[in-house]
Structure 1
Amino acid sequence: MAGQNLVNLENVSAHVPGDASRVLLDGVSLGVERGERVGVVGLNGGGKTTLLEVLAGRRAPDGGRVSRLGGLKLAYLTQGDDFPAGARVRDVVLADYAADHEWAADPKARDVLGGLGLRDLERTVDGLSGGEKRRVALARALLGEPDLVVLDEPTNHLDVEGVSWLAEHLLSRRCGVVVVTHDRWFLDAVCTRTWEVANGRVESYLGGYQDWVFARAERARQADAAEMRRRNLARKELAWLRRGPPARTSKPRYRIEAAEALIADVPPPRNTVELLNFATNRLGRTVLELEDATVRIGDRTLLDRQTWRLGPGDRIGIVGVNGSGKTTLLRSLTGERPLDGGKRIEGKTVQLAQLTQDLGDLPKDMRVLEAVEAVAKYVRFGKEEMTASQVAERLGFPPARQWTPVGRLSGGERRRLQLTRLLMAEPNVLLLDEPTNDLDVDTLTNLEDLLDGWPGTLVVVSHDRYLTERVCDTVVALFGDGKITHLPGGIEEYLRRRAAAGTPTEAPQAASAPAPKAASTVSAAEQRAARKEAARLERKMEQLTKREEQLHAKLAEAATDPQKLMELSAELKSVETEREAVELEWLEAAERAEA
């Protein structure tokens, strides 16, 4: 039933194994309810995975207590995929089904196998790629009837279509979900609550990524924090969110009005005309062109006599399913991969830089700042000049961390260093292949802010839908027909075209099992009732919010009256508690209205 607690953490502490001085969780108390979907965000190395391990019972806390519902069924997806040697895909995923007709008659099993593209069940896991192993592990976690699903980076190695399917699948489940991911579109689409792990604490916020951004910006505004750059960055991010495509679910009107008041004076994320002038001055008219180009991969034709011209200041995102040839297309643009027909044209003033998935080019004998300054000590983004240290700090290296030897960096930190060095070279054409890999949400936001002021031609290949929509003005797709298809409607149009063509991945077929029709879990009458209930609750939240504002004003007036302050503080706390309870009810009603 809704509201039933599945797992509770009480005053839990945990530190880095072997190093008690590095505290990851410090007196954390929280819980997960049935039906609640929690997104976990925070800096790399901040304790997100440790929190999941403690929740799932994979690690005992160093202090505090963890209690779980009796008979709790829990599924856990770790970051590593460990399978028995020689096992087949079916052995890993379908071990609980006695025969093919059993899983084939189960619509959930068919949906999971199809959505994750697991067609060949007889393949051994030993021969699978990293991405394929990840999808097998995810399928194993999603099958069955768990009460709580705990997922650590489930969107890694999924393309845009796979991420969209996973979001829809989790929304259709009635179990609790706790997920660590840096995919902000996914957080917004799926989560009803967000946990931010930072400095050993876990702050809880209602809603997904947009709500979290708003809460952080509002908290900074109310506190009048001295940390002006971070506050402005949060406000700028919020401005883009409100100007972008509408959110997946409606927000309470009082929250929308508060957000719009907060961002009323924030300019657009980037001045397109100004950047185009910069780019044209740096690049001239000719940048990169593929003329009548043909590219083949084995017996498959990736490009069939295609002409594609990249102009100064173009910001292009490339989408397509895994294996569609996106990375090969980038290599063809750079000239690293010769064309099988046609010609490649490069402008005389082009200074090209490419972010690849290979981290082998970093100087391990240097410290972080030395490795950055070895490229350049200063860089200009539009009108803004920044030092190497400033750029490194924006991309997740605080001053103390800038003196760490490169050889001692984590995988995520090496990725950030690679990106920092790339930007310090001041290229005027930038090709990014999966730039979001191993980057946390704050670093991604800072990267996007840097790219907002970067005057040049940008091409991005990414499964991160949010980043593509955020930094790119144009989206093109590889549909496997030998063409580069322009998508005026962006990623939404890409998903519509894939669905209309019947190309979403299909589940493997087994012995004549009828596919049951999906039944709506909520009737039209129930939806209408839920909409009325949501409207009533929204009005109630507006009243409570106004009461909070009145109490804050009265508190300021009663600054010299201790007795009055105590009375007002008690009333304010009561109103805040009531508002949070009403907001939870509103979220449930909104979900029923859209089911």
Structure 2
Amino acid sequence: MLLSYRNLTVSFGGPKLLDNAGLTIDKRERICLLGRNGEGKSTLLRILNSEIQPDKGEIEAIPGLRIGKLDQEVPATLDGTVFEIVAQGLGDAAETIAKYHHLLHEIGEHPDDENIGEQLDELQHQLDQTDGWAIEHKVENILQRVDLDGEQEFSSLSGGNKRRALLARALIKEPHILLLDEPTNHLDIPGIRWLEEFLRKADIALLFVSHDRAFIQRVANKTLDLDRGQLTRWECDYDTYLVRKAELLAGEAKQQAVFDKKLAEEEIWIRKGIQARRTRNEGRVRSLKKMREERAERRNIQGKTKLDLSDAQLSGRKVITVDEISYSWAHTPLIENFSTTIWRGDKIGIVGLNGSGKTTLLNLLLKKLEPSSGSVTHGTKLEVAYFDQHRDQLDSKLSVAENVHPAGEMVNINGKPRHILSYLQDFLFTPETSRSPITKLSGGERARLLLAKLFIQPANVLVLDEPTNDLDIETVELLEERLLEYNGTLLLVSHDRSFLDNVVTSTIALEGNGCIEEYVGGCETWLKKQEDKKNASKKQKTTAPDKVVQSTAETTPKRKLSNKEREALKSLPTKIEQLEAEHAALTSLMATPEYYQNQENDLSGDAQRLEKMENDILEAYEQLESLS
């Protein structure tokens, strides 16, 4: 046992976030903390990291317990090289070595500055007298583990690499327990996979909050559920937890229904008792009072978000036509000679490394940016709704309700008027919260608010840029359901692998240096190709040059698909499904006695139809495999 909390209680004026809860963390456990937005997950992490104090609770911990923490957001005030930022994790002990590295950086830019040289000599002397060089070795070792260059300016890093640097800062003091709050936010998919492998191999205990189901399934070996102030520990993986939690909630609902029925009967009895007789069963009266108190203290499950997309008129069949577009940023090619056709009803995922140009591609497709060459043509009757990953569409000067609908109190949802406060309750905003400024909202609440603003617009083209960041898993799954039911066209940028695989029908992958490839289905095909590239690169490094040349010569180069082939690739799964359904229906019909008793049926003709359908299905599968 590393850490144990008993009777942990926290309240900020409303319902208790933690109500006499208990928590134990053991060595090498990887615990995922689950719960709805607003349940208090981040608060619990802050308590464990001694950032805030609970109202009540007894703690037991091993002597000298060290805890590291990686927060959701990257602080905007951090300045210096990566080495200096990571060294900060060691506190005052690393101040001298951080100064030394800072001056090394300075003298590289000003080699003739004698003042810097003198300061370097003085610091080197101090490091010789202390344990400073051991600290330097420690920092360089952790930087090697996270694959970062210590001399780079922290401000110049991508969002994903900044989080790597902050992870290194948390790990540098060799914590017994590492706390992670939404660690996959702003990481690209290869970055998430790297983090998964890193954490699985790390010899530390983890407690992390995440909405990324694939990440949870890969990393967690225990589950901790925060629900209505109570912490429940599940000694199983995520998929098993889902089954057992559903069974628990079903049992709880059944017990509450029996209790509520009994309470209603007792309320009727006591009212009749007052009228029918002068004396009553005092024990039964006391029991009723106790039942009333128990019902008053019950905390019901937080309601589910209701996501309903507003209907819009159908767009033209051809939504967006892209013809040989190219685009560069600061002389770096992001997109080169890319062509595609997006049809009504397509659900397209857009993936790639951070900085590869995913949002740029979206803006080109929506004609918010002009390509340097080529053209983008829109079809007819397009109505676009856009979800911005940076939440820039929200105005901090307005209230929650005003952000969604500033023009009055009534909104129109699918032709029916609704009060704005009633509409916002579908997104779990109380009337009080709806009238409050958005500055008080959490990250998950801001994401829900943007969905409320988005879904009020009639749209036949839905553009979502990282919509799942900060959302709880239940809301993510509900969003999946609505997108699957959506009849319009969807363009989706996401790093959530489960979300992509469950929603999209095809994937556009930005692979760097302007190269873009298209795949059928979710991101798994692209990830496998990336893994194959990585393995091939490793193999090539260990292969003799003459063998490499021979292998390259024998490899058949891949060609780009034509527009006609791309259209066929998108339509083949539907065609195969229809053929198989017709084949199954005719086979089932011909298996009945009634079929042969009906002289109008053409046995020979139907047998030939079956054979033709079998050949058509086989050819369609072969074509699909070839094009894929």
* TM-score of the pair, normalised by structure 2: 0.63
Q: Deviations over 1:208-227 (max 9, x none)?
A: 43233222322233345599
Aligned to 2:241: 212
Q: Secondary structure of the equivalent of 1:23? A: coil
Matched, 1:493 2:493: no
Select 2:458's aligned residue among 426, 443, 453. 426
Q: Deviations over 1:143-162 (max 9, x none)?
A: 56432211122212211111
Task: Flag the 1:310–1:99 CA change in 2: closer, same or farther, 3 A.
Answer: farther
| Pairing of 1:20-35 with structure 2 (within 5 A) | 20-21=13-14, 23-35=16-28
Task: Flag the 1:98–1:395 CA change in 2: closer, same or farther, 3 A.
Answer: farther
Q: Relative contact order: is structure 1 or structure 2 higher (C-alpha 8 Å, sep ≥ 6)?
A: 1
Contact 2:462 2:490 in 1 (8 A): yes
Q: Deviations over 1:95-146 (max 9, x none)?
A: 678379946995x753x322xxx2x321233555655432211122235643
In the aligned structure 2, how far is the partner of 1:414 from the partner of 1:46? Answer: 15
| Pairing of 1:393-472 with structure 2 (within 5 A) | 393-398=425-430, 401-406=433-438, 408-472=440-504
Aligned to 2:163: 134
CA drift at 1:386: 9.6
Task: Flag the 1:99–1:333 CA change in 2: closer, same or farther, 3 A.
Answer: farther
Task: Flag the 1:463–1:505 CA change in 2: closer, same or farther, 3 A.
Answer: farther
- The amino acid across from 1:98 in the alignment is W
Q: Secondary structure of the equivalent of 2:16? A: strand
Select 2:36's aligned residue among 23, 27, 43. 43
- The amino acid across from 1:302 in the alignment is L
Task: Flag the 1:299–1:367 CA change in 2: closer, same or farther, 3 A.
Answer: closer
Matched, 1:288 2:317: no
Contact 1:83 1:125 in 2 (8 A): no
Structure 1 vs Structure 2 CA RMSD: 3.6
Contact 1:7 1:55 in 2 (8 A): no
Q: Secondary structure of the equivalent of 1:329? A: helix
Select 1:299's aligned residue among 331, 335, 349. 331
Q: Deviations over 1:193-220 (max 9, x none)?
A: 2222233222222334323322232223
| Pairing of 1:370-389 with structure 2 (within 5 A) | 371-372=403-404, 377-380=411-414
CA drift at 1:317: 0.9
In the aligned structure 2, how far is the partner of 1:220 from the partner of 1:85? Answer: 44
Matched, 1:8 2:4: yes
Task: Flag the 1:387–1:334 CA change in 2: closer, same or farther, 3 A.
Answer: farther
In the aligned structure 2, how far is the partner of 1:327 from the partner of 1:34? Answer: 41
Contact 1:34 1:175 in 2 (8 A): yes
Task: Flag the 1:389–1:184 CA change in 2: closer, same or farther, 3 A.
Answer: farther
Q: Secondary structure of the equivalent of 2:38? A: coil
In the aligned structure 1, how far is the partner of 2:535 from the partner of 2:419? Answer: 48
Aligned to 2:281: none
Q: Which of these two proteins has the greater Rg computed from alpha carbons?
A: 2
Greater shift in the superposed pair: 323-332 or 132-141:
132-141
- The amino acid across from 2:319 in the alignment is V
Q: How many residues align?
A: 442
Greater shift in the superposed pair: 46-55 or 27-36:
46-55
CA drift at 1:83: 9.3
CA drift at 1:297: 1.6
For structure 2, list consecutive stretches of 5 or more residues without a partner in the other structure: 95-131, 258-308, 539-628
In the aligned structure 2, how far is the partner of 1:37 from the partner of 1:168? Answer: 13
Aligned-residue sequence identity (percent) comes to 33
Q: Secondary structure of the equivalent of 1:412? A: helix
Q: Secondary structure of the equivalent of 2:444? A: helix
Select 1:59's aligned residue among 52, 60, 66. 52
- The amino acid across from 1:171 in the alignment is R
Task: Flag the 1:505–1:132 CA change in 2: closer, same or farther, 3 A.
Answer: farther
Aligned to 1:588: none
Q: Secondary structure of the equivalent of 2:39? A: coil
Q: Deviations over 1:310-332 (max 9, x none)?
A: 11111111111100000100000
Structure with higher helix content: 2
Aligned to 1:346: 378
In the aligned structure 2, how far is the partner of 1:56 from the partner of 1:303? Answer: 44
Contact 2:139 2:172 in 1 (8 A): no
* TM-score of the pair, normalised by structure 1: 0.66
Aligned to 1:177: 206
Aligned to 1:162: 191
Task: Flag the 1:194–1:400 CA change in 2: closer, same or farther, 3 A.
Answer: farther
Q: Secondary structure of the equivalent of 1:98? A: helix
Matched, 1:191 2:220: yes
- The amino acid across from 1:463 in the alignment is H
Greater shift in the superposed pair: 65-74 or 489-498:
489-498
Contact 1:411 1:438 in 2 (8 A): yes
- The amino acid across from 2:50 in the alignment is G
Task: Flag the 1:99–1:155 CA change in 2: closer, same or farther, 3 A.
Answer: same
CA drift at 1:86: 4.6
Aligned to 1:147: 176
Aligned to 1:532: none
Contact 1:53 1:59 in 2 (8 A): yes
Greater shift in the superposed pair: 401-410 or 22-31:
401-410
Q: Secondary structure of the equivalent of 1:327? A: helix
In the aligned structure 2, how far is the partner of 1:503 from the partner of 1:479? Answer: 16
In the aligned structure 1, how far is the partner of 2:232 from the partner of 2:24? Answer: 12
Task: Flag the 1:342–1:84 CA change in 2: closer, same or farther, 3 A.
Answer: closer
In the aligned structure 2, how far is the partner of 1:213 from the partner of 1:385? Answer: 37
In the aligned structure 1, how far is the partner of 2:182 from the partner of 2:537? Answer: 21
Aligned to 1:92: 85
| Pairing of 1:205-354 with structure 2 (within 5 A) | 205-224=234-253, 282-354=314-386
In the aligned structure 2, how far is the partner of 1:225 from the partner of 1:475? Answer: 43
CA drift at 1:388: 6.6
In the aligned structure 1, how far is the partner of 2:390 from the partner of 2:27? Answer: 41
Task: Flag the 1:290–1:100 CA change in 2: closer, same or farther, 3 A.
Answer: farther
Task: Flag the 1:407–1:211 CA change in 2: closer, same or farther, 3 A.
Answer: same
CA drift at 1:410: 3.8
Greater shift in the superposed pair: 305-314 or 54-63:
54-63
Contact 1:476 1:485 in 2 (8 A): yes
Q: Deviations over 1:392-427 (max 9, x none)?
A: 445443566445454643443233212211122121
- The amino acid across from 1:65 in the alignment is E
CA drift at 1:497: 2.4
CA drift at 1:432: 0.8
Select 2:146's aligned residue among 100, 108, 113. 113
Aligned to 1:559: none
Q: Secondary structure of the equivalent of 1:154? A: coil
Greater shift in the superposed pair: 32-41 or 212-221:
212-221
Contact 1:295 1:304 in 2 (8 A): yes
CA drift at 1:291: 1.0
Contact 1:396 1:443 in 2 (8 A): no
Contact 1:477 1:486 in 2 (8 A): yes
Contact 1:189 1:208 in 2 (8 A): no
Q: Secondary structure of the equivalent of 2:360? A: helix
Contact 1:40 1:197 in 2 (8 A): yes
CA drift at 1:501: 2.5
Q: Deviations over 1:272-303 (max 9, x none)?
A: xxx9xx99x81232101211111222212222
Contact 1:34 1:176 in 2 (8 A): yes
CA drift at 1:473: 1.9
